[in-house]
A and B are shown apart, each in its own frame.
Chain A
Amino acid sequence: MNELARLADSALLLLGHGSTENPDSSAPTLANAEQIRKQGIFAEVQCAFWKEEPGFSISDYLFESDTIYAVPNFISEGYFTREVIPRELGLEGPTTRRNGRTIHYCDPVGIHQSMTRLLASRARELAPDIPVQDSALIIVGHGTGLNAKSTEAIRVQVDRLEALGLGYGQILDAYMEEAPFIADWDQLTPLPHVLVVPFFIADGLHSYQDIPVLLGIESAPTAAASQRDVFRHNPVHIRGRSLWYSRSIGTDPSLTDVILDQVHDFRSTHA
């Protein structure tokens, strides 16, 4: 039996944060689920959310398969992946068996090795024709004392991107709320081309409004209807540089591959 055929009797549960304010937060998770469903790899594919429906705690009812792979569509380890999800799903560790059913709890998508390749290809697509040696690639996150793990996740990605030898003049991490501050992007690098990729699962206020304001490509945040326009003006010539600004990495259609990679990794690690 090949690897994919082995999953045909199993189910995939994608766990997202969701939002009570707008549909942007859950949109990538729902889109990924739809994409994977179409591929027919799993018998069932379902989503559950912390702030939307169906809630985490009733996700058990969604499935008719005996084996479920639960993958947090979160950018890093932290409060949600370590505490909220295990508690709400009643998990006892990497594998939980109850009532004739087995639930395998995989690592969050954001920490998978293949996330690095996704960042690299996103950067390439963002500005395919610029000389990479004259370019700085900045991976930007939120960064607060509250979730040190998310900062660490970005530092790890930057180290891995460096190791890929992509040729960029610089690869840097920067944050909205801690040093190095993304607002100082032109101080962080002297290079003429600057690529900024937000390391978030979904587009939302941070990527539509807050980061563009910090970069200086938007004035004060407004409740603009066409928030996606912010990604359509690349490059922006500002502070004497060319600035390319990407959508959040989690919105990339190839994130489905990272999700599947997490399931495969779980299977090989816990075989």
Chain B
Amino acid sequence: MIAPSRILSLLTERLRSAPFHLGQVRVAAGSDGRVELRHRDDAALDSAELQSFHSPNHAREIAQYDAAGEYRPLKGTPNLKRGWRMDLTGPEETRVALDIFYPAALALWAAQTDDRLRIIPLSQTLERQTGMYRYARTISPEGARELTRRRCLEGCSRRPLWSDLPSPAPGPDEIPLLCPEACSFFVAEARVVAKTEFEAKTAPPPSAGD
């Protein structure tokens, strides 16, 4: 037998003290046990001004592209579009929608709550890469910090737990968006940075008169 879902029971518990936020999504309790999701920047808007959705799977439509129509492969990118609201039946549907808006976020939060979350150091993530990404491991510590600042702290709503750079602690009204291990986007960019560093080092010094 499967134990009743830990993720669902944590979420159900958290919904009792809604509203709360997960990344850019605001989760609020509606009447009759219903749950409303909307963009946190739309919190003050009248419901009638927002496009309403009633199936949690519509989250995919909302989260797929940004307001300019660009694809959002990294869902932590803080460019979730506005102008929508989801009217959901309860914790199960809320979980489905939140899993689409921020994949694995609830599972990682549950793991952290239960002290099961393993944080993988960046060096370990980069060391195990093979193929074209093998090169990522040669990134300098400075290059890695700079990339973490740009890609993670400025470009992603998740909190890179594997980095010692300070990131803002989640507020009491937030389910934390956790990143226990550098993602494939980070690794791909680390490879590019490592290559650029290598080329800068090996470039011939400018000759006199250049």
What's the nearest-Cβ distance from chain B to residue A10, in Å? 9
Q: Which residue numbers of A lie inside 8 Å of B, CB to CB? A: 9, 18-23, 30, 34, 43, 50-55, 57-58, 61-62, 64-65, 79, 83-84, 87
What's the nearest-Cβ distance from chain B to residue A195, in Å? 32
B125: A residues at CB distance < 8 A: 57
Give the nearest-CB partner of B4 in chain A.
A64
Q: Are B1 and A53 in contact (CB under 8 A)?
A: no
Give the nearest-CB partner of B102 in chain A.
A53
Q: Are B6 and A84 in contact (CB under 8 A)?
A: no
> A57 and B181 in contact (CB under 8 A), knowing A21-B71, A62-B107?
yes
The answer, yes or no, to whether B207 is at the interface (CB within 8 Å) is: no
What's the nearest-Cβ distance from chain B to residue A41, in Å? 14
Q: How many residues of B contact A (CB 8 A)?
A: 33
Could you tell me the distance between the alpha carbons of A23 and B183 in the complex, rounded to whole angstroms? Answer: 18
Q: Are A23 and B184 in contact (CB under 8 A)?
A: no
Give the nearest-CB partner of A50 in chain B.
B184
B103: A residues at CB distance < 8 A: 52-54
Could you tell me the distance between the alpha carbons of A50 and B107 in the complex, rounded to whole angstroms? Answer: 18
Given contacts A19-B73, A21-B73, A58-B104, 14 further A-B contacts (CB under 8 A): A20-B74, A21-B71, A22-B71, A34-B57, A50-B184, A51-B184, A52-B103, A53-B74, A53-B104, A57-B125, A61-B104, A61-B107, A83-B131, A84-B130
Give the nearest-CB partner of B73 in chain A.
A20
Could you tell me the distance between the alpha carbons of A52 and B76 in the complex, rounded to whole angstroms? Answer: 11
Give the nearest-CB partner of B1 in chain A.
A9
Q: Are B128 and A87 in contact (CB under 8 A)?
A: yes
CB-contacts of B117-145 with A (<8 A): 117, 120, 125, 128, 130-131
Q: Are B180 and A58 in contact (CB under 8 A)?
A: yes
What's the nearest-Cβ distance from chain A to residue B39, in Å? 19
What's the nearest-Cβ distance from chain B to residue A45, in Å? 12
Can you give 18 contacting A-B residue pairs, CB < 8 Å? A19-B73, A23-B71, A50-B184, A52-B103, A53-B74, A53-B75, A53-B76, A55-B183, A55-B184, A57-B125, A61-B107, A61-B116, A61-B117, A62-B107, A65-B2, A79-B131, A83-B131, A84-B130
The answer, yes or no, to whether B5 is at the interface (CB within 8 Å) is: yes
> A64 and B5 in contact (CB under 8 A), knowing A19-B73, A23-B64, A57-B181?
yes
What's the nearest-Cβ distance from chain A to residue B80, in Å? 14
Instruction: Name the contact of B185 in the complex, choosing from A20, A57, A58 (C-beta under 8 A).
Output: A20
CB-contacts of B121-172 with A (<8 A): 125, 128, 130-131
Q: Are B107 and A87 in contact (CB under 8 A)?
A: no
Could you tell me the distance between the alpha carbons of A230 and B2 in the complex, rounded to whole angstroms? Answer: 46
Q: Is the interface of B mostly helix, strand, loop or mixed?
A: loop
What's the nearest-Cβ distance from chain A to residue B116, in Å? 8
Give the nearest-CB partner of A57 in chain B.
B181
> A52 and B3 in contact (CB under 8 A), knowing A58-B108, A61-B107?
no
A22: B residues at CB distance < 8 A: 71
What's the nearest-Cβ distance from chain A to residue B26, in Å? 21
Q: Are B6 and A64 in contact (CB under 8 A)?
A: yes
What's the nearest-Cβ distance from chain A to residue B151, in Å? 13
What's the nearest-Cβ distance from chain A to residue B184, in Å? 6
What's the nearest-Cβ distance from chain B to residue A5, in Å? 13
Could you tell me the distance between the alpha carbons of A55 and B104 in the complex, rounded to whole angstroms? Answer: 9
What's the nearest-Cβ distance from chain B to residue A28, in Å? 14
B185: A residues at CB distance < 8 A: 20
By CB atoms of chain B within 10 A, which of A30, A52, A79 has the most?
Answer: A52
Could you tell me the distance between the alpha carbons of A61 and B120 in the complex, rounded to whole angstroms? Answer: 14
What's the nearest-Cβ distance from chain A to residue B72, in Å? 9
Could you tell me the distance between the alpha carbons of A44 and B107 in the complex, rounded to whole angstroms? Answer: 13
B192: A residues at CB distance < 8 A: none
B73: A residues at CB distance < 8 A: 18-21, 51-53
The answer, yes or no, to whether B50 is at the interface (CB within 8 Å) is: no
The answer, yes or no, to whether B7 is at the interface (CB within 8 Å) is: yes
A87: B residues at CB distance < 8 A: 128, 130
A57: B residues at CB distance < 8 A: 120, 125, 181
What's the nearest-Cβ distance from chain B to residue A63, in Å? 8
> A43 and B130 in contact (CB under 8 A), knowing A23-B64, A53-B74, A62-B107?
no
The answer, yes or no, to whether B111 is at the interface (CB within 8 Å) is: yes
Could you tell me the distance between the alpha carbons of A131 and B99 in the complex, rounded to whole angstroms? Answer: 48
What's the nearest-Cβ distance from chain B to residue A24, in Å? 10
